[in-house]
Amino acid sequence: MNRKILLLLALTPFALNAQNVVTDTDIDDDEIEVLDEEGDGEEFDFPEALVDNNLDSLMNLYMSRTYLSTDGGCQPLKENPTFTREEYIDRLSRMPTVMEMPYNDVVRSCIDLYMVRLRRQVSFMLGASNFYMPIFEEALDAYQLPLELKYLPIIESALNPNAYSHAGACGLWQFILSTAKMYNLEVNSLVDERRDPVKSSYAAAHFLSDLYKIFGDWNLVIAAYNCGPENVNRAIRRSGERDYWKIYPYLPKETRGYVPAFIAANYAMNYYCEHGICPLASKLPAKTDTVMVTKNVSFQTIADATGLSLDMIRSLNSVYRRDMVPGLTKPSPLRLPLAEISKFIDKEDSIYAMASRQVFKRTEVEIEDRPVVSKQPTKRERTRTTTTRGGKNSKNVRGAKNTRRGKSTGGGKNAKGGKNSYVTVKKGDTLSSIAKRSGTTVAKLKKINGMSGNTIRSGKKIRVK
C-alpha cells in the first residue's frame, strides 16, 4: 500500500514557486506536510519503493549483507543541517546534468524527505549503487541518453533487484509484464529477465529512448515512464500545455511526486556529504563470468559442485525464479565468480549426471481419491433392491441381465474369456483401497468401468476384473 504525503500547497502552476514555506519534519512515517501562507494544499502519493519497507529487503540481499559495511572514517551528523532556498537552487544548477533540475516547494519537500526521514536509506543506497551504477551508465550510454537517468531505479525499486510493486512491476527498473514483453524481456514460470540487472537496464534505456522520441522533453519522459504515455498525453490534452509543471495537476497522484522525487534523488546522491550522510563502504564482489548450461540444473547441485553458497548463486542469477537453471528448454547462462567457472566446466559431465537423477523429470502422479461419502438411498433405490438376513444387498430385482444393452450386471465373461468380478463399494472405500484389495490398479478400474473421475458412491457395484 502506498503511503501518503500531504503537500499543503496551492497546486497551480504559479503556486509551485512560492517562497515562504514552512516544513514540518518532526512527523510520523506516513505523511509530510508543507504549508504555504494560505494553508492550501492537496494529497498525493510518493513513489512506493521509497516508503514501503524496501530498505529491509535491500539490506537482506546477499550482496548487501556481504559487501556493504559501515565506513569507520566517516562520522554522520545526527541532525540534518539547515540551508537556504538560494543554496538549494545553486547546488541544483551546478549538478552535471542536461536534464532540467528546477527548485520549487515540491522538490524541496522531497529533498527533505531523503535528508531527514530517509537518511539511513540514502546511506545504504549509496553503498549499493556501486554494484549497479556502472551497469546503468553503460546501458544509458549505449542509447546516448543522459546519464543522470541512472538514478531512476532509486525511486523505482530502492536498488532492490527483486522488488515487486503492488501493481505487479518487478526488478530494478520496475517493468510490468506487458512492457517487459514489448522490449524482449523473457518472463515465464522459470525465468524473469526483469530481475536481470543487465538485460533490464538495456530494455529500460530502449524504452526511455522511445519515450523521448514521443515527447521530446525529459520531465515528460520520466512522468510517462511512471504512469504510461497515455496518461501524460491525456494530461497534455486537458491542460493544453506540454510543460510538466503546467500539466502537473492533471497527472495521476503518484506521478505528481515522481519527477520531484527524481530531482531530489539526484540531489541526494550528489550532496549527501553536505547533509552529514555517510555512505556504507562497499567491496565489490570478485569478477564474474558466465557459462552456458544445456540441462536443467538446480542451484543446490551447482553449490555442491563448486563450494559456493546458495545465497551467492541466487544473487548472481536472480533471473531464475525456481533455484534452477532451465538449460533443457534452451541453453541458459549461469553466472559464477571467475574462479568457480573452471570448476563448473571441469565437473560439467558429473553435474549433468547428478541433475538428471533429481526431480526435474516430468512424472505422472496419481491424485488422491476423495473418500466415499455415505449417502442414504432414495425411495426409488430402496424398491429396486432386496436384502438378505445379513442386511447386505444381494441382488438387483431387475434381474441379472440388462436385455436392452445385452450386458450382464452380475457375473459374465470379459473380453479375454475370463469371468467378470464385481465388488460393492462400502463406506470409506476409495478406488485406491479397492484396487489394492483386488490386486489391480486405479487406472484399470477406471478403464473397465468407464469412469473419468475418482468419485464412487457407497452401495454401488464396480467391476474389478
Higher-confidence residue: 145 or 360? 145
Quick check: helix, strand or coil at residue 156?
A: helix
Residue 24 pLDDT level (bands cut at 50, 70, 90): very low
Residue 366 pLDDT level (bands cut at 50, 70, 90): very low
Q: What is the mean pLDDT of residues 306-322?
A: 92
Q: Which DSSP string corresponds to 210-234?
A: HHHHHH--HHHHHHHHHH-HHHHHH
What's the pLDDT score for residue 65?
73
What would the pLDDT profile of 396-446 be if each residue is shown by its tens digit?
434 434 434 444 344 455 544 555 788 888 877 888 788 888 888 887 888
Q: What is the mean pLDDT of residues 307-312?
A: 90
What would the pLDDT profile of 152-197 be if each residue is shown by its tens digit?
999 998 888 888 888 889 999 999 999 999 999 999 999 999 999 9
CA distance 106 to 259: 10
| Catalytic hit among 48, 148, 156, 340 | 156
Higher-confidence residue: 384 or 197? 197
What's the pLDDT score for residue 13?
31
What would the pLDDT profile of 218-228 be if each residue is shown by its tens digit?
999 999 999 99
Under DSSP, the state recorded for 452 is S
Higher-confidence residue: 106 or 52? 106
Q: What is the mean pLDDT of residues 371-377?
A: 51
Higher-confidence residue: 41 or 428? 428
What's the pLDDT score for residue 377?
53
Helix (H) / strand (E) element for 422: namely strand 422-424
What's the pLDDT score for residue 28?
39
CA distance 266 to 421: 82
What's the pLDDT score for residue 218?
96
What's the pLDDT score for residue 58?
62
Q: What is the mean pLDDT of residues 247-252?
A: 92
What's the pLDDT score for residue 382?
47
Residue 392 pLDDT level (bands cut at 50, 70, 90): very low
CA distance 95 to 91: 7
Higher-confidence residue: 423 or 452? 423
Tell me the pTM.
Answer: 0.68
Residue 234 pLDDT level (bands cut at 50, 70, 90): very high
Helix (H) / strand (E) element for 336: namely strand 332-337
> For a pLDDT cut of 90, what percent of the chain falls above it?
43
Long-range contacts of 161-164 (CB under 8 A, 24+ apart): 161/61, 161/195, 161/197, 161/318, 162/57, 162/61, 162/195, 162/318, 163/49, 163/54, 163/57
Higher-confidence residue: 336 or 413? 336
Q: What is the mean pLDDT of residues 267-278?
A: 94
What's the pLDDT score for residue 418?
53
- Looking at the DSSP bridge assignments, the partners of residue 192 are 187
> For a pLDDT cut of 70, what percent of the chain falls above it?
72
Q: What is the mean pLDDT of residues 138-143?
A: 98
Choose which CATH entry (1.10.530.10, 3.40.50.2300, 3.40.50.11540, 1.10.3720.10) describes domain 4-282. 1.10.530.10
Tell me the torsion sign for CA atoms 73, 124, 199, 149.
negative
What's the pLDDT score for residue 284?
64
Q: Quick check: 285 pLDDT over 60?
A: yes
Q: What is the mean pLDDT of residues 268-297?
A: 88
Residue 297 contacts residue 322 (beta carbons within 8 Å):
no
To 5 degrees, how large is the angle CA 247–CA 44–CA 79? 115
Higher-confidence residue: 119 or 45? 119
Q: What is the mean pLDDT of residues 71-79?
A: 76
Quick check: helix, strand or coil at residue 283?
A: coil
**Mean pLDDT of the residues in the chain:** 78
What's the pLDDT score for residue 78?
81
Map out the domains of the chain as residue ranges.
4-282, 288-356, 379-463
Fold of 379-463: Membrane-bound Lytic Murein Transglycosylase D; Chain A (3.10.350)
Mark whether 156 is an active-site residue: yes
Residue 159 contacts residue 153 (beta carbons within 8 Å):
yes
Which residues in 135-152 are b (16+ Cβ under 10 Å) and which e? bbeebbeebebebbbbbb
Higher-confidence residue: 366 or 23? 366
What's the pLDDT score for residue 286?
65
Helix (H) / strand (E) element for 344: namely helix 338-346
